[in-house]
Amino acid sequence: MALRLNPSVPAETHRHMATGHDKAKFGLELPSALRLARAWDRFPHLRLAGVHVHIGSQLATPEPTAQAVARALEFVDAANNAGHAISTLNVGGGFPIAYDGADAPATVGDFAAALAPLLEGRDLAVFLEPGRRIIADAGALLVEVQYVKENYGARFVITDGGMNDLLRPALYGAEHRVWPVAGAAGPASPAGVAGPICESSDFLARAAPLPPLAPGDLLAVLDAGAYGATMSSTYNARPLAPEVLVEGATFRVVRRRQTWEEMAALE
């Protein structure tokens, strides 16, 4: 088994995605973990084989991760001195992507360069969790414009997709790129891309630069492959959207649209 450690390292990310600071619910504080390791005779059927540390998602820089790994390695040394033989280290993930298309986030190579000196010469199998970095830009949410309105000089594009379909903007303040599926015609100006749910947080984008739009236009909300469909819900009695897998020039439905009857069956 492995122990999940809380290294008490704040991460440069949204507060809802930070998991390794001293107020987070995750992991064991290092003194408690070490006391546990030194009293392992209480667990004769368990072998302490690894440690795991993860300080958050969408990390801005690799330095906090390196600090967390350094503290995890201090625990490894202390646990081994107490009679264990820890053979694996999971350094977590958090590798960022550029959701707005403009930022140049830290690369996997940047993280590797920060961690390699700490791990050099150690007999440890090292694991990592690259999830978002692999899958985020593989998915997009397609929504249809229902109507466009202006209030006090602000433009709002109301679509049939909402926070129940893509929760990240409402929950994390995430800024996804949004662009017309059929291309642009006319000058772009800021627009709030909103859903039909009765919540002030029901936005897919707060100020997306978009050309003039009309009802029936399709918009693509990009980089929705991570924490998109998995966090969707039937909130406000909205059926789950279908999922379509594109393979080269072909496509197929891999999760069909939920029906009203299915959604209401357990009510």
Largest CA distance in the chain: 72
End-to-end CA distance of the chain: 41
Give me the residue label for tokens 């390292």: 9
Active-site residue (options: 1, 102, 185, 198): 198
Residue 235: name the closest of 266, 195, 197, 264 by CA.
Answer: 197
For the question of residue 198 being annotated catalytic, the response is yes
191, amino acid identity: A
Please check whether residue 96 is in contact with residue 105, taking contact to mean a CB–CB distance below 8 angstroms: yes
Which residues are CB-contacts of 176 (< 8 A; sequence separation ≥ 6)?
99, 100, 166, 168, 169, 204, 205, 221, 222, 223, 224
Which residues carry out catalysis? 198
